Amino acid sequence: MLEFVLLIVGLSGLWLGSEILIRGAISLADRYSVSDAIIGMLILAIGTDLPELFVAFDASFRSLAGEDLSGIVIGTAVGSSIGQFGLVMGAAGFIGVASRPTRLMLRSAVFLVGGLLALAVFCMDGEISRVEGYLLCAIYAAYLFTLIFWKTTNTGKMAVAELAPISHAVAFIIAGLTLLLFSAELTVVSARDFADLVGLSNLSVSAIIIGMGSSLPELSVCIVALMKNRGGLSVGNLMGSNVLDTFFVPGVGAAISPLVIPATVLWLDLPVLALLTVLVLGFVYLSPRGVQKVEGCLLVGIYLGYAVARVTLNGT
């Protein structure tokens, strides 16, 4: 089972690289009057989603060489999104997530729903083409534009004297990116080999193992943020991460090499993601309770049911 051990090592490297990079990013962001929501949806979302991005890059470039690893790209993107709203948000419910009906996060909600619809339409013919990949990337760029040019201040900003020097933050960012690069290569290769060994499809292994493993940075950030009463960071991070996973990860992968989409993605993975998205948005924006233990149990239960169904169906 060397392949499984290497897969765990690769996922651990992705998690550690993200943690190092996030620490540097937050240190830089807290020097300026940037809101927790912006830090969560922009800086943390991109930072915690670098594992998925690096995996998509590596798998897509390998597909250019003639080895179809589309299942790894789409499985990582969709599986990570399901893990973040099911497993991570569900776990956060045991600490308590307050309702946050802010205008800025509502914009992310619009992009989340739009991203799901666009991804479903593009998957209907069994392939996401390069042109469709470029469109997904362009929509994500528009999303970033709305975040960057939305002026807001950070009520949880730390005093500059308490922050590490900028040189330290930059060093953390460079070290994190380097570790992510090597860990992504190890993760893709070992995931492919492990799938062959146990008789599972690349899609199933990516959606469950890589998807769950790549959600660890979001889980870490979410728990720490809630413990420090900075709930805007946790909710913003999960919202921004799922927008990135829906648009940019499959978009980049398809732009490099067109993605072949199994039929099960349309009638299992995307419907489960749509259900979790509707529930989370309802809990966060419509319910005065937010996400508490009952809601958390429901989200985790849906995720566990999905995991069983995904392994049983095996992407075929």
pLDDT in tens, 183-207: 767 877 787 788 778 788 888 888 8
pTM of the model: 0.82
The DSSP H or E segment spanning 260 is strand 259-260
Stronger pLDDT, 213 or 83, i.e. the higher one: 83
The reported pLDDT for the residue numbered 53 is 87
In DSSP notation, 12-24 reads: HHHHHHHHHHHHH
The reported pLDDT for the residue numbered 288 is 82
Q: Is the pLDDT of residue 127 over 80?
A: yes
> Where does the pLDDT of residue 40 fall: very low under 50, low under 70, confident under 90, or very high at 90 and above?
low
pLDDT tens digits, residue range 277-299?
Answer: 999 999 888 888 888 999 999 99
pLDDT tens digits, residue range 219-235?
Answer: 777 776 777 676 667 77
Q: Which residues pair with 260 in a beta bridge?
A: 127
The DSSP H or E segment spanning 141 is helix 130-148
Give the CA angle between residues 79, 191, 67 to the nearest 5°. 100
Q: Is the pLDDT of residue 157 over 50?
A: no
The reported pLDDT for the residue numbered 83 is 92
Q: Is 288 exposed, middle or buried (0-12, 13-18, 19+ CB in 10 A)?
A: exposed
The dotted CATH code for 2-313 is: 1.20.1420.30
Q: Is 212 exposed, middle or buried (0-12, 13-18, 19+ CB in 10 A)?
A: buried
Q: What percentage of the chain reaches a pLDDT higher than 70? A: 84
